[in-house]
Structure formats: structure tokens, C-alpha cells
Structure 1
């Protein structure tokens, strides 16, 4: 499995019913827990004062990441994603092997 740094920015379309936004956000939380349990979502942060998320994700390749993981998020239709493939650094203190 490969790891990716993913920056997600959500922009709710103007005029969207607040009830739909709330429902999608609730479903997003559930789906994120499912993806974490499946080993796709490793860590997720929100920079202070910003409406974007930064996370470390895992998938076989970027296609699987976008289709099976990110594409399954309820807020995905409203998101833009910047995906950066990662590789281990020789000085990473958490490196195994």
C-alpha cells in the first residue's frame, strides 16, 4: 500500500439546504470511520481557523484512492483535492525496517 498526503477543501454550493449539508456532514463522519477501519484513512487534521482538511491516506494507487476512498465521501461532490504521493524518508523516526 502507498501513502498519500491529501488536502481536501469543501465548498458548499450557494443555496444548498442546510439540512442537506448537516446530513452529508454526519454521513461524512461515519464514512471516515469506515475508511479508517479499512486502513485507508490514517490521520486527519484541520488547520486552525481554516475550512480544509489535511490527511494521510493509504491505497494501492492514486486511482484506488480517488475512486474507492475519496470518491465514497458524501461531501466529495463539493470537494477539491490535492493529492501528493509520499515515500519514506531515511531519517523518519517512525520508519520501520
Structure 2
């Protein structure tokens, strides 16, 4: 099953630049692992407001519970709000 996840990250006030850089590096490494496992299929950067951190991700998981485990394993989740949309195939999808 595929899921579109809108991920909005809010860095807490007073967080050091080094802490942000460290967490972003860990997030990038985990994203590579999830991609290699087939859980993370794509990432997009939608138009952003000034100072906004937002990413759209296409994930594959057996069900919503497995997706939650995947999302919870991502380091930036501590600062992030995720909105999950389950996707189903469209009968006219040209990629089918």
C-alpha cells in the first residue's frame, strides 16, 4: 500500500544550529536506509513559506500501523507533524 505523507517540521525555539545540523544528518541517513528497504519511495519539496520546513513523501507499507513504525523511526519526527493520506490505484493511471 502507498501513502502520501505531508511532513511539517518545526524546530523548537532555542535549538542550536549544531543540534539542527546533527538531526538533519541523522534524518538523511535514515531516509537512505528506508529507501534501500523499499519503505521510502520518493520525496518532494513543495513551495515553502519563509522559514517553513515541509516535505512530501511517498511511502510503501503493508498497512497504516507499519507506516507509523517507519515514520516513528525517523529522527526529525520529534519536531514534525505528519499528515498521512492512504493512496489507492486509479483505473486510468498511465503507470499501471
SS state at 1:75 partner: helix
Residue aligning to 1:83: 84
RMSD: 0.9
Q: Work out the number of aligned pairs and report it.
A: 93
Match of 1:42 in 2: 41
TM-score by length of 1: 0.91
Q: Structure 2, unaligned stretches of length 5 or more?
A: none
SS at match of 2:48: coil
Structure 2 length normalisation: TM-score?
0.92
The residue that corresponds to 2:14 in the other structure is 15
SS of equivalent to 2:11: coil
2: distance between equivalents of 1:20 and 1:80? 19
Contact 2:5 2:57 in 1 (8 A): yes
Off by >4 Å, runs of 4+ in structure 1: none
